[in-house]
Amino acid sequence: MARTKQFKAESKKLLDMMINSIYTHKEIFLRELISNASDAVDKLYFLSLTDSSVGKSREDFKIRLSVDKAERTITIEDNGIGMSGDELEANLGTIAKSGSFSFKQENEKQDDIDIIGQFGVGFYSAFMVSKKVVVESRRFGEDTAHRWESEGADGYRIEECEKSETGTKITLYIKDSTDEESYDEYLDQYRISSIVKKYSDFIRYPIVMDWTGSRRKEGEENQWEEYTEEKTLNSMIPMWKKDKKELSKEDYSTFYHDQFHDYNEPLKEIHYKVEGNATYNALLYIPEKAPHNYYGKDFEKGLQLYSSGVLIMDKCSDLLPDYFGFVKGLVDSEDLSLNISRELLQHDRQLKIIAANIEKKIKNELVKTMKDNREGYEKFFRSFGLGLKFGIYNAFGTNRDVLEDLLMFVSSNGKKLTTLAEYVDRCPENQENIYYACGETADKIDMLPQTELAKEKGFEILYMTEPVDEFLAQILSEYKGKKFVNISGEDFDLSTEDEKSALNTLNEENKGMFDAMKEALGEKVAAVRFTQKLRNHPVCLVSEGDISIEMQKVLNSLPNSQGVQAKLALEINKDHPIAEKLKSLCESDKDMLAKYSEILYAQARLIEGLPIENPTELTDLICEVMVK
């Protein structure tokens, strides 16, 4: 026996919002239900391509609307995939639109109206115009059908029912008109036909309705007769085949939400047509925000692929390189055969040409966006930049030509995002390098002693705060003839030849002291020496060789890390009072010199954000020296 079940809390909230909505474009309920129907038909149609037991060909698929004025009902019926009892429960008892709903919660004070208008809210929007909704559905491959029924607030019931054909039939019991609002219009065939035209014209399956009209009786001058005949309400001309001039910003954005299930506005749409080597229409969208799984294993890139208006693949991944995997959209080409298999498609020459074209187009549009809509591009980059960087890194730089101009880094010039080209443009003529520093955050990098010096010399620094950044800098190695130089590396030396030789002499003179310090520190450092790179800070660590300190951190955080060690030198500020202190200890108290070495080394590690191996030992040591 069926009993009434309660909606999940979130669903109930949304439902209440629908029932009491004062939204003025309630007509969109039809768009939502038709779009669900079309998705369901798509699913069965796809199946029919590989499973002959579906027993239908493309022409058989339809969406049927009917109106019963006396009963005050509209039905929307499709012969798509259908839903089982469990699916009815899962899909209609619980809200699926978590995207729009969390948006709503964040903006509680805003009107419902915005979210309904911008995003649509799926199936529940039926309750804006209905006092009761009945869904009868039979899933493909199942013998039993189920009926879901709800009057909104009180919950819903599910029970078995009779239904001869696979698919879903939704019956809306239209609300009674009140003084404030009339719902009768939704029972009018002209009104329904115009709503379908407005929102669902491009739906790929015929949306049919029994149309009642009157016509002159054959052979009779002045006699009219009523007739009823099936009429197709939509033109089925796909949106992307329409002229750009006919389409509004809103058309593009509605299509984006409906088709690609992103509730955010896209950053940009790219709608174009190519004729020649390959002939195709493309409608692509660059999202502004990454979906939550974009960087996860389960993310699937790809564009919808159509052959002369007929969908042949939902996610054709060969059309997009991984680093442009965020692009959503579709390609429609007459050059592709309808029945081409996935395997053959991969080797299709046309498809390769199209893919290459698309890559170029996306790149150009991104460059253009960077110029025309800087703010939007920066938002985009914050979401997708990491993917672009990995694009270069993963291919060992072979596709740098496509990607390097799209990169951005935060720079010490105003702590804003900058491109490499902008950095180079700002460089003084005699600056040969692009300086960068690595660390967890820009603020932490600012605290590095080396940063102080670089800034003092007037160099702009790029803050590389993502683990991949430093590897990227090494792979790129240079940009427009300027070398990437890490200010924490041994290459970063700004002193003059005279200064260098003076420092060498000083280090030679104190060789005995440094040997003693090195001995105290053992394997931890490769060398100890004076430096003139530091201003106020007493010490720093410098990496020698290919592996830097930041890389060591990244590599050691990987699952199978081999305990990589950067080769480190401990450098001491030659002008800091500690230098004199060390020299005198070297004369008077070698034991204390060893302890100082330990402490200075630990300080340098702390500055670099490296862990201290034995913190208690260290604090004991510091105290021991303090009480001396």
Out of 15, 40, 134, 540, the only residue in the binding site for ligand ADP (CB under 6 A) is: 40
Q: Which is nearer to ligand ADP, 77 or 469 (CB)?
A: 77
In the set 17, 28, 74, 83, which binds ligand ADP (CB under 6 A)? 83
Encoded amino acid at 276, one letter? G
With contacts defined by CB under 6 A, name the span among 79-87, 179-187, 208-216, 409-417 that binds ligand ADP: 79-87
Strands 409-411 and 461-464, by their bridges, are antiparallel
Decide if residue 96 touches ligand ADP (CB under 6 A): yes
612 in Cβ contact with 541 (< 8 Å)? no
Position closest to ligand ADP via CB: 122
Candidates 65-73, 77-85, 397-405, 485-493; binding stretch for ligand ADP (CB under 6 A): 77-85
Per-residue x/- mask for ligand ADP, residues 553 to 582, rule CB under 6 A?
------------------------------
Torsion of CA 411, 415, 421, 424, to 10 degrees: -60
Stretch that binds ligand ADP, among 80-88, 155-163, 321-329, 429-437 (CB under 6 A): 80-88
Task: Please give the Cα distance from 63 to 66 (Å, whole number).
Answer: 10
CB of 259 to ligand ADP, least distance (A): 11
Nearest to 234 by CA among 64, 412, 33: 64
| Least distance in angstroms from the C-beta of 147 to ligand ADP | 14
Furthest CA-CA distance within the chain: 129
| Residue with Cβ nearer ligand ADP (264 or 433) | 264
| Least distance to ligand ADP, CB of residue 122, Å | 3
Q: Kindly tell me which of 80 and 85 has the beta carbon lying closer to ligand ADP.
A: 80
Report phi then psi at 171, rounded to 5.
-110, 125
Please report which helix (H) or strand (E) contains residue 13, including its range.
Answer: helix 9-19
The least distance separating ligand ADP from the CB of residue 36, rounded to whole angstroms, comes to 3
Taking CB under 6 A as the binding criterion, the range among 34-42, 268-276, 531-539, 563-571 that sits at the site for ligand ADP is 34-42
**Minimal distance, residue 319 CB to ligand ADP, in Å:** 25
Decide whether 126 or 392 has the Cβ nearer to ligand ADP: 126
For ligand ADP, the binding residue among 14, 29, 65, 78 (CB under 6 A) is 78
Between β-strands 461-464 and 482-486, what pairing exists: parallel, antiparallel or unpaired? unpaired
3-state secondary structure 44-65: HHHHHHHCHHHCCCHHHCCEEE
Q: Which phi and psi angles does 128 have, rounded to 5°?
A: -70, -30
| DSSP letter assigned to residue 561 | -
Q: Which of 37, 549, 551, 604 touches ligand ADP (CB under 6 A)? A: 37
First to last CA, the chain: 86
* Closest CB to ligand ADP among residues 75, 556: 75
Q: Which long-range contacts (CB under 8 A, 24 or more apart) does 608-614 make?
A: 608/448, 608/488, 608/540, 608/541, 608/549, 609/439, 609/440, 609/444, 609/553, 610/541, 610/549, 610/553
The structure tokens 């402490």 sit at 599
Q: How many residues bind ligand ADP (CB under 6 A)?
A: 15
Q: How far is the CB of 215 from ligand ADP (least distance, A)?
A: 34
Q: Is 424 in the site for ligand ADP (CB under 6 A)?
A: no
Q: In this chain, which of 122, 238, 385, 467 binds ligand ADP, going by CB under 6 A?
A: 122
Interaction between residue 80 and ligand ADP (CB under 6 A)? yes
Residue number with CB closer to ligand ADP (156 or 459): 156
Q: Rounded to whole angstroms, what are the CA distances from 8 to 15, 91, 153, 163, 494? A: 10, 11, 11, 28, 66
> Is 259 a binder of ligand ADP (CB under 6 A)?
no
Helix axis angle, 189-200 to 28-50, nearest 10°? 60
- Of 11, 21, 36, 304, the one binding ligand ADP by CB under 6 A: 36
Of 168, 171, 200, 548, which lies in the binding site for ligand ADP, with binding defined by CB under 6 A?
168
Which region among 8-16, 78-86, 182-190, 415-423 touches ligand ADP (by CB under 6 A)?
78-86
Spell out where 554-625 has E strands.
567-573
Q: Which of 19, 137, 153 is nearest to 83 (CA)?
A: 137
Selected binder of ligand ADP within 123, 140, 423, 471 (CB under 6 A): 123
97 binds ligand ADP, rule: CB under 6 A = yes
Q: Decide: is 64 part of the binding site for ligand ADP (CB under 6 A).
A: no
345 sits near ligand ADP (criterion: CB under 6 A): no
Show the CA angle centred on residue 85, arms to residues 79 and 87, nearest 5°. Answer: 75
| Residue 168 or 543 with smaller CB distance to ligand ADP | 168
Closer CB to ligand ADP, 91 or 264, in the complex: 91
Stretch that binds ligand ADP, among 36-44, 220-228, 278-286, 339-347 (CB under 6 A): 36-44
Contacts of 140 (CB under 8 A, 6+ apart): 44, 47, 54, 81, 82, 166
Distance of alpha carbon 211 from the chain centroid: 45
- Distance of alpha carbon 505 from the chain centroid: 56
Candidate ranges 35-43, 223-231, 476-484, 527-535; the one touching ligand ADP (CB under 6 A): 35-43
Q: Could you tell me the smallest distance in angstroms from the CB atom of residue 29 to ligand ADP?
A: 10
Measured from the CB of residue 208, what is the shortest distance to ligand ADP in angstroms? 16
Helix (H) or strand (E) holding 161: strand 156-161
Would you say 484 and 478 are in contact if contact means Cβ atoms under 8 Å apart?
yes
| Under 8 Å between Cβ of 91 and 8 | no
Residue number with CB closer to ligand ADP (31 or 518) = 31
Per CB under 6 A, residues contacting ligand ADP are 32, 36-37, 40, 78, 80-83, 91, 96-97, 122-123, 168
